[in-house]
């Protein structure tokens, strides 16, 4: 449907607004800057593994928020 991309963008924006600054930074580095986890970890003062684990947990948290409808403004 024509409104779906706009609705998806609104949901993503609402979900991002619920995140901590550190969580938003992690998403920015991974998705906006398209950095490898070794570089993400370096910039955040983490190991590559810790950056991967944080990313994985953050995605689960976002899925849970979206499924619960908590991303809605």
Each residue's pLDDT tens digit, 35-67: 999 999 999 999 999 999 999 999 999 999 888
- The reported pLDDT for the residue numbered 71 is 56
- The reported pLDDT for the residue numbered 70 is 60
pTM for this prediction: 0.80
- Distances, alpha carbon 36 to alpha carbons 5, 31, 41, 52, in Å: 27, 10, 9, 10
User: In which band, very low, low, confident or very high, does the pLDDT at 7 lie, cut at 50, 70 and 90?
Assistant: confident
């Amino acid at each position: 449907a024509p409104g779906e991309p706009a609705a998806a963008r609104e949901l993503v924006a609402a979900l991002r607004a619920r995140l901590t600054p550190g969580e938003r930074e992690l998403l920015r580095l991974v998705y906006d800057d398209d950095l490898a986890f070794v570089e993400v970890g370096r910039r955040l003062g983490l190991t590559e593994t810790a950056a991967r684990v944080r990313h994985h947990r953050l995605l689960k948290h976002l899925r849970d928020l979206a499924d619960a409808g908590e991303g809605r403004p």
